[in-house]
Amino acid sequence: MSVIERTAPVFDLPGVDGRNHTLEEYADAPVLVLIQSCNHCPYVLAWEDRINDLAREYAERGVKFVAINSNDAEAYPQDSFEAMVDHAREAGYVFDYLYDESQEVARALGSERTPECFVYDADRRLVYHGAVDDNRDEREVTRHYLRDAIEAALAGEAPPVAETPPVGCSVKYRS
């Protein structure tokens, strides 16, 4: 298993909106949610509407969601930057979707799966790492890990669950 960094990694990555985004850019957000993601994984496709809904819901409280795709696009052309632009538009993403072509951010995060969530408090300390919730079928969800972590971080408290196993496709690292 990868070692998960306890602070948010510094990054400067191109987004599907045509400009670069940095960690500093989100400095005012009381909570920052980084999500290791991609275009082609069925687990991402199963969860992305819920992620989008959470991003929309918490935007008014200043919470920022940032999805990062680090997959090797040479081996998986569906995860190319061009495909990201198309996918974000088609899926109606309301959050920034960034391309980590060098895979440095994924390695810094210690990501293994897509989707995999990292929730940081105002000091950018990791307060939750893992899955969005406990079931990829929205109708069967009983535990809302990501939502609970955001609420706790906004209240300045520790989340009820700080770590869950992320469920999803493997991050496609170059060998």
Residues that bind another protein (CB under 8 A): 40-43, 45-46, 76, 136-137, 167-170
Q: Identify whether the C-beta of residue 144 lies closer than 8 Å to the C-beta of residue 137.
A: no
* Closest distance to another protein from the beta carbon of 34 (Å): 21
Nearer to another protein, 43 or 145 (CB): 43
CA-nearest of 54, 173, 49, 25 to 119 is 54
Nearer to another protein, 153 or 164 (CB): 164
* Closest distance to another protein from the beta carbon of 169 (Å): 5
- Residues 6, 125: Cα–Cα separation, whole Å: 6
* Closest distance to another protein from the beta carbon of 107 (Å): 18
Q: Identify whether the C-beta of residue 125 lies closer than 8 Å to the C-beta of residue 133.
A: no
Nearer to another protein, 60 or 137 (CB): 137
- Residues 11, 105: Cα–Cα separation, whole Å: 7
